[in-house]
Amino acid sequence: MDLHTAETTDHLLGEGDIPPVHEVNAEGTSPFLLTSDHYGRILPRALGDLGIPESELSRHIGWDIGIAGVAERMAQMLNAHLIAQRYSRLVIDCNRPPGVASSIPVISEATRIPRNEGISDGERALRRREIFEPYHHRIDAAIDSRLRAKRPTVLVALHSFTPVYAGVARPWHIGALYNRDTVLPKLLLKHLRSESDLVVGDNEPYAASDLTDYTIPVHGEARGLINTGIEIRQDLIADQSGQQQWAERLARIFAEIEIELRAERLID
């Protein structure tokens, strides 16, 4: 089935496609709720290869390289619930407000995505309904359940970034991202800066905003949750060794932050 066939049906995902939502440790008792918007790089069978070679799909334009391994390990180490999204951000970016140009990109960095050109409103709606919405509805439901149970909930959105973008090298090893809420980012920055081997970004290489992000503004700020985004440079977590090291480091730091949040009565 190709894109045009998909546009004439009521479904994008069909036989042989896996669900968009991936969860780890759903019963975890940690106050930290982990999300990974760009965890995977799968394409729906109906969309073929989007008109790009595998070498492009496997680059950073297709997903957040290395973050899946870090997120999985952190969930286990912290006994935290992880909610992740399996499909490539080139199908629909689950950390972009629907309707903006980068939601379903026609060009990503310098790469054209032919199968995203000139698609119908119906196709856009299918992608949103079958990939974007199930993922975000699951995050909403998890938060609702935790709040009903009066469980402390701190949102941590996990991402990775490319070492070089548009020809410009990025010096940071890790960055804390935030918009209105600075409670957790300040604590995180303090702990990260105490690690003598790190170059730490304060809202670098990106800053979170209502226009460029979805998960933090909608699930964190709009729900009144303490929250932060994390960006780890991809060359540091490209293999399992790096993923393990960074998961251990961040799990240790977040365990310390939990103690501080409780001591300051920011969570119960």
What is the chain's mean pLDDT, rounded?
A: 94
pLDDT at site 165: 86
At residue 229, what is the residue type? G
Mean local confidence (pLDDT), 188-207: 96
Judged against a pLDDT cut of 60, whether residue 2 lies above it is answered with: no
Specify the length of the chain in residues: 268
Q: Per-residue pLDDT averaged across 22-46, rounded?
A: 97
Q: What is the pLDDT of residue 9?
A: 62
Summarize the confidence of residues 107-114 as an average pLDDT.
91
Rounded to whole angstroms, the Cα distance separating 131 from 139 reads 13
* pLDDT(28) > 70: yes
pLDDT in tens, 230-239: 999 999 999 9
pLDDT of residue 3: 43
φ, ψ at 157 (rounded to 5°): -95, 120
CA distance 166 to 168: 6
pLDDT value of position 110 = 85
Mean pLDDT of 74-101: 97
Return left, alpha or beta for 135; rule: phi > 0 is left, psi -120 to 50 is alpha, else beta: alpha
Smallest CA-to-CA distance from 37 within 124, 125, 136 is with: 136
Residue 199 has pLDDT above 60, yes or no: yes
pLDDT range class, residue 166, cuts 50, 70, 90 = confident
- Cβ-in-10-Å burial (0-12, 13-18, 19+) of 196 comes to exposed
